[in-house]
Structure 1
Amino acid sequence: MKKINVDFKSDILPHLLAIVFFLIITLIFFSPLLLEEKTLTQPDILQWEGGAKELLDYRAETGEEGLWTNSMFGGMPGYLVNTKFSGNLIVHVESLFTLFLPSPARIIFSAFLSFYILLIAFGVRPLLAVGGAIIFGLTSYNIIGLTAGHNYRIAAISYMPLVIAGVHLAFQKKYWWGFILTGLGLALHLNVNHVQITYYLLLMVLLYGLIHLIFAIKEKQLNTFAKTVGLLSVAAILGVGCNLGKMWTIAEYSQYSIRGKSELTKGNDSNQSQQGLAKDYAFQYSNGIMEPFVLFVPDFMGGSSVQELGKDSNLGRALKSNGVPPAQVSQQLKAVPTYWGNQPGTKPYYVGAIAVFLFVIGIFVVDKPLKIWLIICVLLGIVLSWGDSFSSFNYFIFDYLPGYNKLRSVTFTIIITIFSLTLLGFIGLEKLLKSGLNQKTQRYLLLSLGITGGITLLMVFYSWIGGFRGAIDAREPYSSYPIWFLDALRQDRASLLRNDALRSLFFIIGSVSLIYFYFKKKLSEIAFSALFILLITLDTGLVSSRFIGSENFNKNPKRAFFHESEADKLIRRDKTLSYRVFDLTDPFNNAQTSYFHKSLGGYHGAKIRRYQDLIEKCISEEINAWIGEVQKGGTDMENYGVLNMLNTKYFKAGNTANAVIQNPDNNGNAWLVSEVRKVNNPDEEIDALKEIDTKKVAVIDISQNELPTATMNGTGTVQLEEYQPNYLKYKADLSGDGLAVFSEIFYPAGWEATIDGEPVDILRANYVLRALPIKSGNHVIEFFFKPNSYYTGNKVMLVSNLILIIVILAGIGISLRRELM
């Protein structure tokens, strides 16, 4: 029996200790979640739960997946909200990888572990790799994202390192593990289903490949390059296959969503008539030119949009000296607009003074291919994050880089910079330490200190001479505040910059000192590494702790957020199978109503494009007109055809019972029309919709629908008999042939209809609804949602997942076999 040639102390123990350390840091940041059974209050997650409630309840009651939900925006595919794929076995691998930690703690742990594996793949020793992993996991970018509830975005980021590690290993001719890590990393990453972060990852991988292609041509290694690309392509196909159902359904939906092309040509700007988002929407959040300095000095721009200041701050003293009552001073100081940039809302994405210092070292010492790739990525992330602050470049990219115009919040591109900057820094540190102290390394060390330390000193100098006037100063209510208030506020902004610049200088000097003492053999490798990790944890962790604390955790935030109001209770007494509610308070940016009712509004970043058109062209106009009438004492809804055709039975003007307004004029679930108005295009269709009585007339675009030649003016009833998210059953009783309009959103990719068991084509009527020609007599009408993208994609996922798991197990087995003596 041969024994395995593995030394526990050198080959296993460092990695186990790293995992334990990552667990400890995770426990520190998420102790209320892990030890006190509290939940992190995440606004976006709460909104998600509101929109997903119907689907979650349906799964709990039936064990089946609700692929469609009527809880938001009149109806939309459920896989945009919450759908499980039975073929998705990779979720079990993910649970094992994250040691079964609860979310969102598991996300930070996976970021630690993934980046640790990445640094090991790039040849960084384990003790240093721990430091790099802490920076990447604890960057305030991640913590801020999680506190906002952007779990999917941060989870997708946490698996980026595994993919890059696999690609790099493959190009280092470590083909087996390169294949496994690429396939596994991509499968885990795509499983999170965040297209925007996947796009950024693809940019980084393509740039990596391009740099290596250039060097392969130069060194005449094209055959090796092609072999590596071929291997990685197979791994990528496997990773995609593990998530095909998710990707297919989203890709299919995107052409019908606001990410796709609008069919309207009148009244839309040129951007919206093209494929993708409008520029003003995509670039709403854009960094100012100087704003990326927050990566180095967190309060360079004053910190968050609003944050708390102490009573000893300049503003606190100014308020007190100007006779403001103490209670009012305390209240005023809780939310001070210290941020002086142009974004409507922000918090600083800090990577760390130490990380930036090491990045500068990396520029000097890392080999060309890696250095060029990572520097380009760092600069690309910054430039893209500028958005319309650098419109000459970013508008060109938006218009011509394939797929980029479907993404918004371009400040998120700074994760490319954070990733690349940290990676280059630790590759550089490893190379510097291996080189030892010599004239060249000493010069590089001093140059890096001079550059980064010099920048912090320039910032300190600027804090004494800068104006610190923010865009918010010119807005109400601050524009009407006295001069002494704004002067004190600007002094505090300067103080925040000065203090954080000096803070960064401290950590830079601390890093240089540790490296110098290590070179001088005053510190052992273990002592140096331990102190360096401690310094890194303090640098990054203390800034991130500004954005997460015990106040962010609560026993049951869902209970408070989804408190059933008297208005909700009153509406829920109505046991009618299906009707809709319109919340007048914040209809299209809040899913609280969706938690209890089928809603015309909701909270989602990818509404159906035609429904968004309807909101802008019809619903908003009708609501504004009706509110005007209500304010004058009238409540008649008879003339508001769009709201009525959407089966709007109740309006909520608040949370009290008397804030509920019932609409007796709604059209119901289905109705027969006596007239069909034919139009030639979507513009005519939505214009006609504003003019007709939707109870009597249906508008149909004949360019996209084939109408039967028979006259359809029969009378009778069409009643909803059974409702499920994926299934609707109606009974019809007609005297004469007729056209029934159903208050259900038309979606061509999956909905099927039968009349008495015979398949029939679904027409689109009134711009967003379904319609069916029905023969005279009694009939059973059924709608089924059976998207092929889900069912076929799920089968491919199962096969791909099984193959990937077999490959991983085979890889482990082969590695162990090779270690046998």
Structure 2
Amino acid sequence: MTLYTSVLDYQRYSIRGGSGEGGGLEFDYAANWSFHPLEMVTFFIPSFMGFGGATYWGKMPFTDYPLYFSVIVFLLAGLAILLRRDRTTWIMTIVALFSLLVSFGKHLPLLYGPLFKLLPYFNKFRVPSMIHIILDIAMLILAGIGLQALFELRTQLPQLKPMERSRKMKGVKRYLYAFTGIVLLLVLIVLLGKSIYMGMAGSGGHTLNEAQRLEAYNKALLDSFKSIGLLALAIVLIFQFLKNNLTRLTLTLSLSAMVIFDLIMVDAKIIHPRDKSDEKAFFAATPAVQYLKQEKELYRIFPVLDDKSGNWYMYHLIPNISGYSAAKVRLYQDFLDETGFGSQDRYGLNSFMSKYWRVGMRDNRVTPVEVPLDQIAPERRAFDSAMLDMLNVKYLVLQYLPLNDPRYQPVADPEQIPLYRNTTVLPRAFFADSTRQFTGRKNIFDFMKSGRFDPRRVAIIEENPPFAVAPAGANTAEITRHDLHQIDIAAQVKSPTILVLSEIYYPAGWKAYVDGKETRIFKTNYLLRGLFLRPGDHQIVFKFDPASYRAGKWISTLTLLLLLGLLGYALWLLYQRRRKQPPVTA
């Protein structure tokens, strides 16, 4: 329960829930990876759409694997609907059908649109196809019911009148033959329609070359033979069972083994166990990483031009203002959107680097051209510099192109260590000389982009300050402890001031204590934390202690105690019942 209460708390401040317009994701963003109805063909032949990766040619932006749960599971689930139409079967059928329809997402806006707009919390989730986990569970339950229905049918057949027995068997045969016919039709399309398949694979939204289309076709062909072979064997086993030539155990074990084999054949294309040495080779420390690990002060990096993936530096515990998260803090996403630090143009340049370099065509080749500093808008340079300074970005990672700006100096030969030191970086905790009050994202960033914002000179707050501040002067602040849940600062304050901590403002749990007394944290510079301090020597503690976590912990503890109590009570009742039973006499 602690997980759920914490996530529920967090979503209010994330891109899934936090925004000035009511919260939730935008429809187009949330509806990415909607499951197209045509891709239901992969329920029968998993590689029909190219399986995943470079060979995928379906309707989703990309995928690594099909949403496949075994053709035999599908077959048995249908038998449940045919032979055992009780409450459980209908409930699971409705759950499976509803999950499938919801997974269509933007391809079925009549259903997904109202759910997205009206159903509470629905717009906090993205990737409609993820609901297939519910579809898979429902289909597995239906498959179990279908197998049980076969057991019951064989028991009932001898007791039925000939006409009733014939009618039952005809229904089963028609279903099995119809199911086989659908799969066989798909197999024939792949087997006999190679040119048609290759054309379909090349006409979608994905650009597949000839070799990739051929690989997709070969995968589909192999899966076609596998599916029709497994299906034929399963049907033979079912008929033999109904003729009393197989036991229940034999049928159950045989079908289970076939399902396991079927899924292993799919999983083997997804899961590639590797030796530990491969991990070490991928994350091998570069000269830049080796240099950064020698840094003693708190710092962050900004990979401006880098061939490492977004979260690669996490492996080395190097703080990074880039990286990927599926549920970013709303304030930080706003920051990335305003600065452009989190996006790239088609040449791989983000907003920071594109002001120093322009990309043009020369001799029919893409050629970067350096922009002289005097041709760069001073406001833009000042804004980018202020953002990096206040985020404690001490180093920039730049490969491929040099950075000729006196604010950023190479730590060594850039060919050897592609690191540039930010010469104007601010420490993780710093003081500002004054405050300015603005409200709203637009007003705040308009001021920041005006060229007049210097985080040393002014701290932007969104509410009335408790008192006026004076220039920082000789004020000092030293971070004595810094971990995930607590930050301790020793501060010497000569005049009333505001202390800015370069950590994300997150009111759902972070509390500040000055000399043991809880103190209000002000949202500062749109995304950071600020404390107003009066003159004196202060011990400051920022502590993460969310009420949602404590509530979840208590709920979990009480629930566990309740369950243990119920278990004890049930055992006591069982004991009392056995005591009252008369002894068995010979």
- The two structures have a TM-score, normalised by structure 1, of 0.59
CA contact (8 A) 2:392 2:425 kept: yes
Alignment partner, residue 19 of structure 2: 262
CA shift for structure 1 position 587: 8.6
How much does 1:558 deviate?
Answer: 4.5
Q: Write out per-residue CA displacement over residues 240-276 of structure 1, whole angstroms, 9 at most, x where no aligned residue.
A: xxx2x3222221111011111313xxxxxxxxx3421
Whether 1:564 aligns to 2:312 is no
How far apart, CA to CA, are the structure 2 residues paired with 1:473 and 1:519? 46
Which of 164, 189, 206 is the matching residue for 1:462? 189
Cα distance, 1:440 vs. partner?
3.3
Retained in 2: the 8 A contact 1:672–1:716? Answer: no
Residue 470 (structure 1) shift = 5.3
How much does 1:476 deviate?
A: 8.7
Q: C-alpha distance in 1, partners of 2:421/2:129? A: 43
Corresponding position: 1:451 with 2:171? no
8 Å Cα contact 2:15-2:23 kept in structure 1: no
Q: Percent identity?
A: 24
In 1, the alpha carbon distance for the partners of 2:183 and 2:244 equals 29
How does 1:334-483 map onto structure 2 within 5 Å? 337=55, 339-436=57-154, 437=157, 438-463=165-190, 464-465=192-193, 466-469=196-199, 478=208
Residue 523 (structure 1) aligns with: 246
Matched residue, 1:651: 396
The Cα of 1:285 is off from its aligned counterpart by: 1.1
Could you tell me which amino acid in structure 2 is paired with residue 538 of structure 1?
F
For residues 522 and 259 of structure 1, the distance between their equivalents in structure 2, rounded to whole angstroms, comes to 56
* Unpaired segments ≥5 residues, structure 2: 158-164, 344-349, 358-369, 400-413
Q: Which of the two has higher C-alpha Rg?
A: 2
Aligned equivalents of 2:132, 2:40: Cα separation in 1: 8
Give the Cα separation in 2 of the matches to 1:772 and 1:614: 21
Give SS of 1:658's match: coil
Q: What SS does the corresponding residue of 1:581 show, helix, strand or coil?
A: strand
User: Which letter maps to 1:643?
Assistant: L
Separation in structure 1 between the aligned mates of residue 351 and residue 25 of structure 2, nearest angstrom: 26
Aligned 1:46-125 pairs, distance under 5 A: none
Higher strand share: 2
SS class of match (1:553): coil
Which residue of structure 1 lines up, in the alignment, with residue 409 of structure 2? none
Q: Secondary structure at the match of 2:479?
A: strand
1:230 corresponds in structure 2 to none
> d(CA) in 2 for partners of 1:817 and 1:297?
56
Taking a change above 3 Å as real, the CA distance of residues 664 and 255 of structure 1, as seen in their structure-2 partners, is same
- Helix, strand or coil: the match of 2:530? strand
The answer to whether the 8 A contact 2:202-2:213 is kept is no
Residue of structure 1 in register with 2:428 after alignment: 669
SS of aligned partner of 1:604: coil
1:406 Cα shift?
A: 0.9
Give SS of 2:323's match: coil
Deviation at 1:304, TM superposition (A): 1.8
Instruction: Kindly provide the amino acid, as one letter, of the partner of residue 599 in structure 1.
Output: N
User: Please, which of 447, 450, 462 is the counterpart of residue 701 of structure 1?
Assistant: 462
Q: 1:588–1:601: 8 Å Cα contact kept in structure 2? A: no
What one-letter code is carried by the residue in structure 2 that aligns with 1:449?
A: L
Offset of residue 603 of structure 1: 3.4
Give the aligned partner of residue 775 of structure 1. Answer: 534
SS at match of 1:772: strand
Distance in 1 between residues matched to 2:502 and 2:245, nearest whole Å: 77
Name the SS of the counterpart of 1:728 in structure 2: strand
What residue is the counterpart of 1:682 in the other structure? 441
1:300-339 alignment runs, 5 A limit: 300-306=48-54, 337=55, 339=57
Report the AA paired with residue 343 of structure 1.
P
Instruction: Tell me what 1:292 maps to.
Output: 40
Aligned to 2:408: none
Count of residues in Structure 1 that have an aligned counterpart in Structure 2: 526
**2:491 maps to which residue?**
732
Matching residue's letter, 1:554: D
Other-structure match for 2:233: 510
Question: How far 1:614 sits from its partner (Å)?
Answer: 0.4
Matched, 1:277 2:277: no
Matched, 1:552 2:273: yes
Coordinate RMSD, CA, aligned = 3.1
Show the counterpart of 1:641. Answer: 386
Residue 609 of structure 1: how far off its partner (Å): 0.6
User: For each residue in 1:95-148, what CA deviation from the matched residue of structure 2 results, as whole angstroms up to 9, or x when unmatched?
Assistant: xxxxxxxxxxxxxxxxxxxxxxxxxxxxxxxxxxxxxxxxxxxxxxxxxxxxxx
Contact kept? 2:497, 2:534, Cα under 8 Å: yes
Q: What letter corresponds to residue 388 of structure 1 in structure 2?
A: K
Q: Secondary structure at the match of 1:744?
A: coil
1:741 matched to which residue of 2?
500
- State the Cα distance separating 1:763 from its structure 2 match: 1.1
- Does residue 613 of the first structure (1) align with residue 334 of the second (2)? yes
Query: Structure 1 or 2: larger helix share?
Result: 1
CA displacement 1:342-380 (0-9 Å, x = unmatched): 432231122112111112211111124223222222222
Alignment gaps of 5+ in structure 1: 1-242, 264-272, 307-336
Structure 1 residue 663, shift from structure 2 partner = 0.7
Find the residue that maps to 2:93 and give its secondary structure.
helix
The one-letter code sitting in structure 1 at the alignment partner of 2:474 is G
Pick which of 721-730 and 451-460 moved more.
Answer: 721-730
Q: Which amino acid aligns with 1:701?
A: E
Partner Cα distance (1:555, 1:493) in 2: 31
Q: Which has the higher contact order (CA 8 A, sep 6+)?
A: 1
Quick one: distance in 1 between partners of 2:22 and 2:500?
Answer: 30
Asked if 2 retains the 8 angstrom alpha-carbon contact of 1:738 and 1:773, the reply is yes
Q: Is the deviation greater in 733-742 or in 709-718?
A: 709-718
Letter in 2 for 1:413: I
Q: Which amino acid aligns with 1:427?
A: I
Out of 610-619 and 383-392, give the one that drifted further: 383-392
Distance of aligned partners of 1:755 and 1:261 in 2 relative to their CA distance in 1, 3 Å threshold: closer
- How far the C-alpha of 1:611 sits from its partner, in A, is 0.7
Contact 2:435 2:469 in 1 (8 A): no
Contact 2:433 2:472 in 1 (8 A): yes
**TM-superposition CA deviations, 1:160-196 (whole Å, max 9, x none):** xxxxxxxxxxxxxxxxxxxxxxxxxxxxxxxxxxxxx
- Counterparts in 2 of 1:531 and 1:791: CA distance versus 1, 3 Å: closer
Aligned-residue offset at 1:809: 5.3
Q: Distance in 1 between matches of 2:355 and 2:468?
A: 43
TM-score of the two chains, using structure 2 as the length reference: 0.81
Alignment partner, residue 804 of structure 1? 563
Distance 2:284 2:566 in 1: 48
Q: 1:579 corresponds to which residue?
A: 299
State the 1:405 CA deviation.
0.9
**Separation in 1 of the partners of 2:353 and 2:241?**
75
User: Aligned equivalents of 1:445 and 1:751: distance in 2?
Assistant: 63
Change (3 A) 1:660 1:473: farther
Which residue number in structure 1 is paired with residue 262 of structure 2? 539
What is the SS of the residue equivalent to 2:34?
coil
Q: Would the aligned equivalents of 1:398 and 1:404 in 2 still touch at CA under 8 Å?
A: yes
Give me the whole-angstrom Cα distance separating, in 2, the residues matched to 1:587 and 1:686: 30
How far, CA to CA, are the matches of 2:285 and 2:553 in structure 1? Answer: 37
Is the Cα–Cα contact under 8 Å of residues 740 and 774 in structure 1 kept in the other structure? yes
Residue 786 (structure 1) aligns with: 545
Counterpart in the other structure of 2:479? 721
